[in-house]
Structure 1
Amino acid sequence: MQVKMKLMVAILAIIVTVFGISMDLCHCKVVQFIFGDSLSDVGNNKYLTKSLANANLPWYGIDFGNGLPNGRFCNGRTVADIIGDQIGLPRPPAFLDPSLTEDVIMENGVNYASGGGGILNETGSYFIQRFCLYKQIELFQGTQELIQAKIGEEAAGKFFEEASYVVALGSNDFINNYLMPVTSDAWSYSDQGFITYLMETLQAQLTLLHSLGARQLMVFGLGPMGCIPLQRVLSSSGACQDKTNKLALSFNEATSKLVNQLSRNLPNATFQFGDAYDVVNDVITNPNKHGFNNSDSPCCSFGKIRPSLTCIPASKLCADRSKYVFWDEYHPSDSANELIANELIRKLGFLRNNDTNIVPSPAPDSAP
């Protein structure tokens, strides 16, 4: 009996050695899969050549790496970049990055976020090209097939179940859909009816992600989107749009309930809701307290012509980018993103993952 057992162990060892089969299935690190809009996009839209939501222009990226445009809708880093750096997760490359391979995916994860994208398929349609959340999930399914082909279904299943997932969309569904009088959703729904429509769609999407292996998932809520420069310019006084902020608060309340419900009801799910409203609102309302001196206008603007939806080569930059909360009409600056990210880490109690040393790309203290 002992001879047979030793023989079986020896044969198994040969099989493992020759065929490279891992007894532990997958010694993969924990990575992130990010689903989002322009606040999280790290370059997908720059490969969508017909998209009108594109940050592949000067002066985007001026405070990141070599200072050239990289697809981020910011002068520097996104909130997701900074949170990942702080808790030891690698920065996931854009899904459309030509250098993306199976090995890169297993080492860094993937970012599917797309400027102009929303929870709803119809959101941002006038941008021509963008990935809505359902499309991003479809791309994630394609990613899974690649990894399954490389390491096998069982090991791939373990890899995806151990990964971290981020879903951060919703603002475009309001600003570039429901609040636009020319869209069908604007005259088809009441405020509450539209939020119910969003929640029904989001519930199906999060449930689908769970069926695809998502177990550790964070859904981020909306900030005071009525206070972004693009909304303020609609008011003769330059004040925040109260209705838009109330929609954000209602969305957050409904999303929090949905996420908690799914976390209770889906097997082995740890779904969390990240509420950034108070953090962002405090920065906008009390900029001086946080080291800023402007929280109502963009650092990058086209003179008195507003709103200029994107920062363009002919735009003028503010004297000190670190003192502005907003980079353009829609998106926070690197300095604001850093403050928001650090507050979220503190508020939500993120723990450090992986044994990694990641060097972030900080923005300078002042403009060069």
Structure 2
Amino acid sequence: MECSDARMLLVVLMIVVAGSRQASCNVVQFIFGDSLSDVGNNMYLTRSLARPSLPWYGIDFGNGLPNGRFSNGRTVADIIGDKIGLPRPLAFLDPSLNEDIILESGVNYASGGGGILNETGGLFLQRFSLYKQIELFRGTQELIRNKIGAEATDKFFQQSFYIVALGSNDFINNYLLPVYRDSWKYSDDGFNEYLMMTLEQQLKLLHGLGARRLIVFGLGPMGCIPLQRVLTSSGDCQEKTNNLAINFNKAAEKLLQDLSGNLPNTSFRFGDAYDMVNDVISNPDKYGFDNSDSPCCTIGRIRPSLTCIPVSRLCKDRSKYVFWDEYHPSDRANELIADEIIRKLGLSQLNTTNSFSQSTAPSPAPFS
């Protein structure tokens, strides 16, 4: 072979390899959400009052140190991604995030305290609302466009997988608190309509930015989280709050069906695990839990605290508790929720390889 021919062949191979790296066939995910999906953004919001910064957060995940998740282990989005072959995206504010990592893994914009509405979660001082998260996503697209060009960027974002998981803060840290104007401005139905109108515009924005495969997570029985129970004299679930969640889910499911029917080349689906979670809470023994009404991480009878605090104590066996703290499910409960969403939606493997597939679940050891 002539030297010139060999050099030409080498150049062609380099172009092919570079192109394959630039336009990877692997699907990545972009996650929009609140503390149930946050993997570290609030850790970098230094004035936020919603930060999982104590050592007990992440105790059953990785090296056992805080990793930005409001749980002892993984989020529902973590687990779904692991099980269908998606890489875990870094938090948007993670200083190591760059264009190459975005192309390999996507981005997580979720922020503890965030809501569908801009006004939600103001008591936490700093948080990303869904509109802000979409704004950050738009900026991410500009970064990728500058790196790989417009055509490849459009293809990359259209083949990606999207999760939107917000709404509980809009009720618990907005509508149900009298310090917010929305609590006295709207009726229950009126507030739900306000949320749906806002969510519809946000999902249309995401569609305009390339989102084609998207799942919106439904709300669980919010009235049964420890924070809501402790506000009642009986310690029972708050039916009003649960009914708000049920009505939100019904409206959101219809909204997703309508958008999928009207927006071109779109699969927007609703991930509902309400009934299953309600059954877990009502019949914990059936699922191997000992406790479904109080948090594993607690300060005892002097409650509630927003998150674990320095004087909090841990339960003896975290795998036996449905709730990790006053707001958030434990890793084991999150896995049940993820499995239910995967089952209901019939989600299948999207990528052939996934670095987390062999060691996704922590093995909580009894705390002593």
TM (normalized to structure 1)?
0.93
Q: Deviations over 1:189-220 (max 9, x none)?
A: 00000001001100000000000000000011
How many angstroms apart in 1 are the aligned matches of 2:330 and 2:360? 15
Name the SS for the 1:110 alignment partner: strand
Aligned with 2:312 (options 307, 315, 323): 315
Tell whether the 8 Å contact from 2:196 to 2:251 is kept in structure 1 after alignment: yes
Does residue 172 (structure 1) correspond to residue 158 (structure 2)? The answer is: no
What percentage of residue pairs aligned between the two structures are identical? 71
Does residue 287 (structure 1) correspond to residue 284 (structure 2)? The answer is: yes
Q: Which residue of 1 aligns with 2:43?
A: 46
Shift in CA distance, 47/237, structure 1 to aligned 2, threshold 3 Å: same
Name the SS for the 2:199 alignment partner: helix
Name the SS for the 1:69 alignment partner: coil
Does residue 347 (structure 1) correspond to residue 344 (structure 2)? The answer is: yes
Q: Which residue of 1 aligns with 2:5?
A: none
How many angstroms apart in 2 are the aligned matches of 1:89 and 1:264? 26
How many angstroms apart in 2 are the aligned matches of 1:347 and 1:161? 24
Q: Deviations over 1:216-261 (max 9, x none)?
A: 0001110000000000001111000000000000000010111100
CA drift of 1:20 comes to 8.2
Q: Which residue of 2 aligns with 1:142?
A: 139
Unmatched tracts of structure 2, length 5 or more: 1-7
Q: Deviations over 1:277-325 (max 9, x none)?
A: 1121111111000000100000000121101111112101111110000
CA drift of 1:179 comes to 0.3
Tell whether the 8 Å contact from 2:36 to 2:112 is kept in structure 1 after alignment: yes
CA drift of 1:23 comes to 9.1
Letter of the structure 2 residue corresponding to residue 81 of structure 1? D
Aligned with 1:332 (options 319, 329, 343): 329
CA drift of 1:364 comes to 2.0
How many angstroms apart in 2 are the aligned matches of 1:25 and 1:104? 11
Name the SS for the 1:34 alignment partner: strand
How many angstroms apart in 2 are the aligned matches of 1:279 and 1:367? 28
Q: Which residue of 2 aligns with 1:277?
A: 274
CA drift of 1:345 comes to 1.4
Letter of the structure 1 residue corresponding to residue 221 of structure 2? P
Q: Deviations over 1:121-144 (max 9, x none)?
A: 000011000000000000000110
Letter of the structure 2 residue corresponding to residue 322 of structure 1? S
Tell whether the 8 Å contact from 2:298 to 2:314 is kept in structure 1 after alignment: yes
Tell whether the 8 Å contact from 2:72 to 2:330 is kept in structure 1 after alignment: yes
Tell whether the 8 Å contact from 1:232 to 1:241 is kept in structure 2 after alignment: yes
Does residue 193 (structure 1) correspond to residue 178 (structure 2)? The answer is: no
Name the SS for the 1:295 alignment partner: strand
TM (normalized to structure 2)?
0.93
Which residues in structure 2 correspond to 1:244-259 (within 5 Å)?
A: 244-259=241-256
Shift in CA distance, 16/209, structure 1 to aligned 2, threshold 3 Å: farther
Aligned with 2:52 (options 35, 51, 55): 55
Cα RMSD, aligned residues only: 1.9
Name the SS for the 2:90 alignment partner: coil
User: Which deviates more from structure 2 when the two are superposed, residues 357-366 or residues 271-280?
Assistant: 357-366
Unmatched tracts of structure 1, length 5 or more: 1-10
Shift in CA distance, 159/289, structure 1 to aligned 2, threshold 3 Å: same
CA drift of 1:14 comes to 7.0
Tell whether the 8 Å contact from 1:28 to 1:107 is kept in structure 2 after alignment: no
How many angstroms apart in 2 are the aligned matches of 1:31 and 1:24? 14
Tell whether the 8 Å contact from 2:317 to 2:364 is kept in structure 1 after alignment: no
Does residue 35 (structure 1) correspond to residue 35 (structure 2)? The answer is: no
Does residue 243 (structure 1) correspond to residue 240 (structure 2)? The answer is: yes
Shift in CA distance, 21/100, structure 1 to aligned 2, threshold 3 Å: closer
Shift in CA distance, 209/319, structure 1 to aligned 2, threshold 3 Å: same
Q: Which residue of 1 aligns with 2:93?
A: 96
